[in-house]
Structure 1
Amino acid sequence: MKAIDFLIIGCIVGAIFITLMKKWFNRRIIIKRIEKAKRGEKDAIKLLKAQGFKILNVQERKPLTTYINGKPYTNYVQVDIIAEKRKKKYIAEVKTGTRAVQTTNPNTRRQLLEYYLVYKPEGILLLDMSNKKINEVHFDIIKPFNKATIEMIKILIVFIAGLIAGAIIG
């Protein structure tokens, strides 16, 4: 074998070794994140209970069907914790990092909005487990009237018009 052959074999073995090391290292990072998230979730349950919340469910999944050109696609939305306090239902998102805790973070905001639309809670809690802090989040969303409300408004307008007409006639 010539020196060039050893160089080629060395490059191949080195590339395989580096690739395997990167995969192992990335797997370790993912495992550590998952472990940290699980610890954060357990601590979050303790924190919520200490603040008077009753835990209703953990890691609840709800189906969400999206229609694209009339064809249904079903996905699932999973919330960390569903809790209750003073007969109000809350969804709680547990965060263990620093950036994700900020509601100004677009990914966190989108996630909380998705929970809000799917679960329709009375409150949203963003738990900052690095600082052991519960943040209550509200979105200023104008909800459209439902059909029953529109019908009630129509009836009320007709009734008021009748009162005015009666006052003018009588």
Structure 2
Amino acid sequence: MLDELIKEIDELNSQSLPWINQVKLDHIKLMLKDSESKLRNRKSDLHLSASAMAFTDQAGIFIRHPYLHTILLPAGHVEMGESPFECALREFHEETGLNADPKFRRLIDVNLIDIPANPIKHEGVHQHIDFRYLIHLLPELPGTAELPVFYLDEAKSPNEFSKYFFLIK
């Protein structure tokens, strides 16, 4: 698995995306190598997560996080036997009720995110190495969303995600 994650990050470097920071990605690759055995352990201080950026018309699709009470991309922890991309698709569907095309796969960013303690899940303060994917929606009727879903244009989206609107221009 580690080799696949490193390869994805290296492929991300070859894209001409204005937000890509080589120093950050090199640091994340080192963290992955040093922490591979604990990335899927919810009791560790470093977790592997994945998120999905999807657009419809000129709007990005976001959710309201139930614990952090803020607008974020649909995302979640990568489970055992699951790739980050598979996680991004699964979480996107669970949280929004929408379906994405599993044949379209594009990593657009990898980030290190500080996560506060969550006593409800018995998780202490930790960090996520978050693989962010651009996904394409399938023209299917939506199912039931687990979380409130928001369709926001670039001006209304959280600052952290407004840069991704570059992908639809």
Q: TM-score range by the shorter chain?
A: under 0.3
Kindly name which structure, 1 or 2, has the bigger radius of gyration based on alpha carbons. 1
Give the helix-richer structure, 1 or 2. 1
Higher relative contact order (CA 8 A, sep 6+): 2
Query: TM-score by structure 1 length?
Result: 0.23
Query: TM-score by structure 2 length?
Result: 0.23
